[in-house]
Structure 1
Amino acid sequence: MNFSVAVLQSGALNPQGPVAASQRLILFNATAIMLAVIVPVIILTVVVAWWFRAGNQRAKRQPDWTYSGPVEVFVWSVPLLVILFLGGIAWIGSHELDPRRPLASAQAPLDIQVVSLDWKWLFIQPQAGVASVNHLVVPVGRPLRFHLTSTTVMNSFLVPQLGSQIYTMAGMTTELNLQADRPGVYPGLSAQFSGDGFSDMRFEVEAVSPQDFEAWLAAASEGAVLDADALRELERPGTTGRARYRVALPDLFATLVRREGHGAMPGMAGMADASICRSPVPPPIPSTHASSR
């Protein structure tokens, strides 16, 4: 029982941001539309079986009956309406919840660069020049603009309570816009099998007040240095715990994207050069967190 409650509290049915809330609404609407067909069919099946039972002398049987225009219209109109409603919901939702679509807000978005490694997540906050592993701290109520890539195989980034799973691929960048509306710690995970350490490739997104976020940035900027040696250690296959760094490598994210694009596996280079599913490498952002205040 406690396990079930914990799953509900940390899952997609307990959204903590506008994207996840919209996705839950689509799920509920689609379920209601399908139940509007399923429940009457179940009820009518029981009613027809009861009415035409062998002992009911009042049931009118027509063994030679073959066609009824009104019945045909009803039988075909109901699934047609279901398809129209579900298709409309999917069409509208797919455009409103486009991962690259910015979220409406009076605040400027916070840029976050995400790199999937074997088997850990590296989060870079270029405006402040800091990075963290398996732990992302963000301010409450501010849009988060993610740029994501991978240094190895394709992976999948997902925070169920914030919404929108999206893939990370070597030599490419994908974009995602999310927001946390309430303070809390929201579990994230890799939603794609990527090797031996896949099951432990988890992280946490911690949403805090703007003041606490600034304090965390200041503390991270005084931590260990993410230089070439530290990066090589992070890229070694294996799981690890939390860590935070002061980034000492200029244009780290763009460098990783270009490096993996040139050194990708056979067949990946052509994909990296294709325009489909590829976003331009984001330009470097000045190493200061003044704009995040």
Structure 2
Amino acid sequence: MKHRLFRSVGIGAVLMLTAILAGCQQVVLFPKGEVGIKERDLIVFATVIMSLIVIPVIIATLYFANKYRANKDNEYLPDWHHSNKIEAFVWVIPCIVILILGYVTWVKTHELDPYRPLEHAAKPVQVEVVAMNWKWLFIYPEQNIATVNELVVPVDRPLNFRITSGHIMNSFFIPALGGQVYAMPGMQTKLHLIGNEIGSYDGISANYSGDGFSQMRFTTHVKAEADFEKWVSEVRTSDKALSRAGYIELDQPTEKHPVTHYATTEPGLFSAIIGRCVDGKTPCVSHGGGSVQKLSPFITSSVKKESPAEPASN
């Protein structure tokens, strides 16, 4: 009776799990960017190569459990204790698999280093990203515009992200394009991606950051080059400008913040955010050279954009 009960519970759990997963969008396994595709391929390769050990072990476990179960007449070998063939099988095969998996993982993870620029003929798009409570700020330094909770990029052009946080540690992640890098206050990290298919993809905060964490989302729109330029022109018609004073006002914690466009941005704002001196009164902090330096607020605009230390990414 108990056996039937446990079996029914197990079948019910499997069916429930299947129903839940049926509604999931496995976006990581169906990426829309070059980096995401390479990461997906590495995951699939690692899974297949490890299955060469896992599957035979599972089959052998079931086979031996059935062969030597109680009340079954089988060959009895009380003096058997060692087999060179079995020892070779259980040691050599796993070692080969580990060597192959280790080599491929080493090569691919260095190839997919988020700090490593993508090799591409097209000119990269520069985007400065600021994680705020609880929204995302995107500054386009070349176009001199900014947006909140909306990232628009051209298709088939490398995307060079420079990432920081206004307050607490966070994590920048666009699952469909690949890569995930931490955003930390007073520091700068980097991420290089590319969108190979036109479409709209979710971007999320992948690191818990307080009450509004679940709503800290943005949409990434990958558009044709002409549509991207048209969007830039539309943003420039906005009546909002992102100055330092405007950033301080925007910096107040909000949840479900609406998409906002800024026609212009104040030069040096991103460097000031990293230096934690947006107010113009607090001396900027530079982490260059391994030491903390206090810089006069009157020379904050001369802080080099690449000076903050770049910690290891995830």
Query: Could you state the TM-score of these two structures normalised by the residue count of structure 2?
Result: 0.80
**Conserved? CA contact 2:244–2:269, under 8 Å:** no
2:305 to 272, 276, 281: 281
Mapped to 2, the partners of 1:148 and 1:20 lie a distance apart of 19
Question: 1:46: how far off?
Answer: 2.4
Deviation at 1:217, TM superposition (A): 0.6
Please give the per-residue CA displacement for 1:76-113, whole angstroms capped at 9, x wherever unaligned.
11221232122123211210100011112110111110
Residues 245-272 of structure 1, C-alpha deviations (whole Å, 9 max, x = no match): 02241121112112269x9xxxxx79x4
Is 1:254 the counterpart of 2:271? The answer is: yes
Encode CA deviations 1:31-86: one digit per residue, 9 max, x unaligned: 111211111112222223333456665x4331121222222121111221232122
Q: Alignment partner of 1:7: what SS?
A: coil
Alignment of 1:62 onto 2:86: no
Looking at structure 2, the residues matched to 260 and 79 of structure 1 have their Cα atoms a distance apart, in angstroms, of 55
Counterpart contact for 1:162–1:179, Cα < 8 Å: yes
Structure 2 CA distance for aligned equivalents of residues 173 and 216 of structure 1: 27
Q: Could you say which residue in structure 2 is the equivalent of 1:183?
A: 198
The answer to whether the Cα contact below 8 Å between 1:151 and 1:260 also exists between their aligned partners in 2 is: no
Find the aligned partners of 1:165 and 1:137 in 2 and give their Cα distance: 18
The equivalent position to 2:128 in structure 1, one of 109, 113, 116, is 113
The residue type equivalent to 2:99 in the other structure is L
Query: Structure 1 residues 188, 3: CA separation in 2 closer, same or farther (over 3 Å shift)?
Result: farther
1:281 partner amino acid: K
Q: How does 1:122-201 map to 2 (within 5 A)?
A: 122-201=137-216
Q: What amino acid is aligned across from residue 271 of structure 2 in structure 1?
A: A
Q: Residue type of the partner of 1:47?
A: Y
Q: Is the 8 A contact 1:173 1:281 kept in 2?
A: no
Uncovered stretches (5+) of structure 1, i.e. residues with no partner? 264-268, 284-293
User: Could you tell me which residue of structure 2 aligns to residue 289 of structure 1?
Assistant: none
2:253 aligned counterpart, secondary structure: coil
SS in 1 for 2:30: coil
Q: Structure 1: which 4+ aligned runs deviate by more than 6 Å?
A: none
Q: Closer, same or farther in 2 for the Cα pair 1:68/1:92, shift >3 Å?
A: same
Q: Kindly indicate whether the alpha-carbon contact (under 8 Å) linking 1:154 and 1:169 is maintained by their aligned counterparts in 2.
A: yes
Rounded Cα–Cα distance in structure 1 between residues aligned with 2:69 and 2:216 = 58
- Say what the alpha-carbon RMSD is for the aligned residues: 2.5
C-alpha deviation, 1:150, in angstroms: 0.9
Q: Residue deviations 1:222-242, cap 9 Å, x none?
A: 211112332122100112110
Q: Is the 8 A contact 1:121 1:203 kept in 2?
A: yes
| 1:237 is aligned to 2:261 | no
2:6 is matched with which residue? Answer: none
Aligned residues: 271
Instruction: State, as a whole percentage, how many aligned pairs show the same letter.
Output: 40
> Per-residue deviation at 1:149?
0.7
- In structure 2, the partner of 1:41 is 57
- In structure 2, list runs of 5 or more residues that go unmatched: 1-17, 292-303, 308-314
CA contact (8 A) 1:111 1:126 kept: yes
For 1:209 and 1:185, locate their aligned partners in 2 and report how far apart those are by CA, in whole Å. 12
Distance 1:218 1:225 in 2: 14
SS in 1 for 2:25: helix
Q: Deviations over 1:202-222 (max 9, x none)?
A: 011100010010011111112
2-structure distance, mates of 1:247, 1:3: 45
**Superposition TM-score, scaled by structure 1 size:** 0.85
Q: Quote the residue 1:288 is aligned against.
A: none
Q: In the aligned structure 2, how far is the partner of 1:3 from the partner of 1:70?
A: 44
**Alignment partners' CA distance in 2, 1:62 and 1:150:** 67
Correspondence for 1:15: 31
CA offset at residue 8 of structure 1? 2.0
The match for 1:71 among 54, 78, 86 is 86
Higher normalized contact order (CA 8 Å, seq sep 6+, divided by chain length) = 1
Distance 2:65 2:183 in 1: 53
Corresponding residue for 1:226? 242
Moved more, 191-200 or 66-75: 66-75
